[in-house]
Amino acid sequence: MLAGSDRSAIDGKGRVVVPSKLRAALPDGDLVVCWEPDGCLSLYTLEVWKERVRRIDESSRDVMEARMRKRFLFARTEVVRRDPQGRVSLPKHLLQEAGIEGEAVVVGVGNRIELWAPAKWEALMARQQTIIEHNPGEILTP
């Protein structure tokens, strides 16, 4: 299970160091990085990614809908590999789409890792805090 958050620098080559507490829960090998409609990047293991794609196929009403959803998703998806230092090279076009420059908030979210631009993350957390204060017990999802 991936849980917790930390900040990590993005170097000039677009590499982010996955914090050790999250890295320890990841298997060796390839990861999938994709842009999410809520504005972050997500890192998935291949196993979890394949399950996500399977769910798209199952939840689509017809073949054309599934094809369109997968086109949208896969156009913003890349397979990446962690290096021995725990760094993951993130494609520049995905970093730009997510608005991530220089630093990312790295968040373990159960079966994936999310990477957020710090300003977006802080705005999301402030929004959720406001909702929780007005509706105790409820947590807003992005």
More confident residue, 5 or 136: 5
Q: Considering the domain boundaries, does residue 30 fall inside one?
A: yes
With vertex at residue 48, the alpha carbon angle to CA 46 and CA 51, rounded to the nearest 5 degrees, is: 110
pLDDT at 137 over 70: no
Q: Considering the domain boundaries, does residue 82 fall inside one?
A: yes
pLDDT tens figures, 108-127: 999 999 999 999 999 999 98
Q: Considering the domain boundaries, does residue 139 fall inside one?
A: no
More confident residue, 101 or 28: 101
Query: What's the mean per-residue pLDDT of the chain?
Result: 89
Q: Considering the domain boundaries, does residue 80 fall inside one?
A: yes
- For residue 70, the model assigns a pLDDT of 85
- For residue 123, the model assigns a pLDDT of 94
- For residue 31, the model assigns a pLDDT of 95
108, 4 in Cβ contact below 8 A? yes
Q: Considering the domain boundaries, does residue 114 fall inside one?
A: yes
pLDDT tens figures, 15-54: 999 999 898 888 778 999 999 999 999 999 999 999 988 8
Residue 124, SS3? helix
pLDDT at 87 over 70: yes
Q: Considering the domain boundaries, does residue 141 fall inside one?
A: no
74, 10 in Cβ contact below 8 A? no
How many domains are contained in the chain?
1
CATH number for the domain harbouring residue 97: 3.40.1550.20
Please name the residues in contact with 112: beta carbons below 8 A apart, sequence gap of 6 or more: 2, 42, 43, 44, 48
Q: Considering the domain boundaries, does residue 60 fall inside one?
A: yes
Q: Considering the domain boundaries, does residue 75 fall inside one?
A: yes
pLDDT tens figures, 51-85: 988 888 777 778 888 888 889 989 999 999 988 88
Nearest CA among 32, 51, 28, 52 for reference residue 43: 32
Give the residue numbers spanning the domain of 44. Answer: 2-134
